[in-house]
Amino acid sequence: MDALFNYFISMNENYDVIICGTGLKECILSGLLSQKKLKVLHVDNNDYYGGDCASLNISKLWQKFNPTHPDPPTSLGHNRDWNTDVIPKFVMAFGKLVKILIFTKVSKYLEWKPIKGSYVYQFKKGGIFSDDKGVICKVPANDSEALHSDLMGFFEKNRMRKFINFVNKYKADDPKTHKKKFDMIKNTSKELMERYSLEPNTIDFIGHAISLYDTDDFLNKPPTEFINRLKLYMDSAGRYGDSPFLYPIYGLGGIPEGFSRMSALHGATYMLRANVEEILFDTNGQANGIRCGSDKAAAKMIICDPSYALKISGKLKKTGQILRCVSILDHPLPNTDGAESVQIIIPQKQVGRKNDIYIAAISAAHAVCPKGLWIAIISTVIETSKPELEIKLALQLIGKSMHQFTWVSDSYEPSTDGKTDKVIIII
């Protein structure tokens, strides 16, 4: 009775803002807004925190992706041994998210461990894979690895060294650090790298495996953002070990849960299984609340992920579809020296695509699965009518799976900025 009473009270109050969805970005906003003394109602249709960033135990993983046979094999162990992120995101050690976690003190709820290796796929005739003639090479994380890297020949390594020295010294407000006879506004990133006579494969792995662009669009744009991304990678490398990437123990779900604790401490109200059926609008076309069944909650603004705005006409624009595949393995990824955690980036140009393919693999070292098992997640933007063929190479790279789930989700972008209708969509 107390729970039902609290639900009724929460759903019939006025709030400064209602946030729908407990994904990472939504939880960060909830924490920051409640810290600023705003009255926040934070709801989610799911029965767990995190949305797409949730860490699922083995039972919830099976229920989500294998509903016709929702009970996982007993051989996979207990729920307490599993924290599967279906959309894993490796975090830059010196990136904005880490800075936010430290600033808000949410970091005290989390424990981190570096990702052991980052690899990039390159097409090379006579490579280790007979079907694709390609190899995966470790992306250098320090000077020693760069010296011994198979990604570049001897002379190319010297050219790369000169380019990296330029990037390290570059300051946007100091023309003395700029490349001579090179306009940082009119010239492009591609032209900058060509000034150092870098080879196409080197340009490719710098752009996709270090700067982490997922298409080649950056090549034809001014290099300021490109340089900042390179600096972020280099500042992150060696900060907490050799790798620039971090991943939380027990999975990503701990991050939204940490911000949930923070916002609850500052007075925010949380409700799972909210069953939000409608975002409500006044006669002026401005959002003024939500409806959950027969109950309503009022607010001056609604913040939500795209799934809560699908019923609002003209609010979302579909941009494409994402293919993801979760595989449970009994072995580390081949050709990664048995790494306990690893990412492999397949740049789009190397395999004749427009978008990169990503592989993330984590193990018991991050407390996401039982010892002796790995979780590998493949993701990419769908480009053809046969998406399963688009990840054939990635499946080959991870090796044979014990269990595998593949699904497709739509991607969206907001058609409006939310200033007029007071609905802010978080992408």
The string of pLDDT tens digits covering residues 50-60 is 887 789 999 99
Tell me how far apart the alpha carbons of residues 177 and 175 are, in angstroms, rounded to a whole number.
5
List of residues 6+ apart from 157 with CB closer than 8 A: 146, 147, 149
Show me where the domains of the chain are located: 2-54+253-308, 55-115+243-252+318-413, 143-236
Tell me, what's the pLDDT at 278? 96
Determine whether domain 2-54+253-308 maps to CATH 3.50.30.40: no
Q: What is the token pair recorded at 197?
A: 């006579």
Q: What is the pLDDT along the chain (427 residues), one digit of tens a residue?
A: 444 445 445 667 899 999 999 999 999 999 999 999 999 999 999 888 888 778 999 999 999 999 888 999 999 999 999 999 989 899 999 999 999 999 889 998 899 999 999 999 998 654 344 455 688 999 987 777 777 888 889 899 999 999 999 999 999 999 999 988 899 999 999 999 999 999 999 999 999 999 999 999 999 999 999 999 999 999 998 788 778 999 999 999 999 989 988 998 999 999 999 999 999 999 999 999 999 988 999 999 999 999 999 999 999 999 999 999 999 999 999 999 999 999 999 999 999 999 999 999 999 999 999 999 999 999 999 999 999 999 999 999 999 999 999 999 999 999 999 999 999 999 8
The string of pLDDT tens digits covering residues 180-197 is 889 999 999 999 999 999
Strands 40-43 and 269-271, bridge-based pairing: parallel
Tell me how far apart the alpha carbons of residues 151 and 139 are, in angstroms, rounded to a whole number.
8
Which pTM was predicted?
Answer: 0.90
Domain 143-236: what homologous superfamily? Answer: Guanine Nucleotide Dissociation Inhibitor, domain 1 (1.10.405.10)
Half-sphere exposure of 172 (CA within 13 A, CB side): 9
Domain 55-115+243-252+318-413: what homologous superfamily? Answer: Guanine Nucleotide Dissociation Inhibitor, domain 2 (3.30.519.10)
Would you say 422 and 369 are in contact if contact means Cβ atoms under 8 Å apart? no
Alpha helices, DSSP H only, in 271-382?
none
Which candidate, 304, 273, 318, places its Cα nearest to that of 408?
A: 318
Tell me, what's the pLDDT at 410? 95
DSSP H or E segment with residue 360: strand 357-363
- How many H helices and E strands in the chain? 12, 21
What's the distance, CA 82 to chain centroid?
A: 20
Tell me how far apart the alpha carbons of residues 206 and 210 are, in angstroms, rounded to a whole number.
5
Tell me, what's the pLDDT at 10? 63
Strands 357-363 and 278-281, bridge-based pairing: unpaired
Would you say 368 and 84 are in contact if contact means Cβ atoms under 8 Å apart? yes
Tell me, what's the pLDDT at 2? 45
What's the distance, CA 297 to chain centroid?
A: 31
Which candidate, 195, 194, 196, places its Cα nearest to that of 161?
A: 196
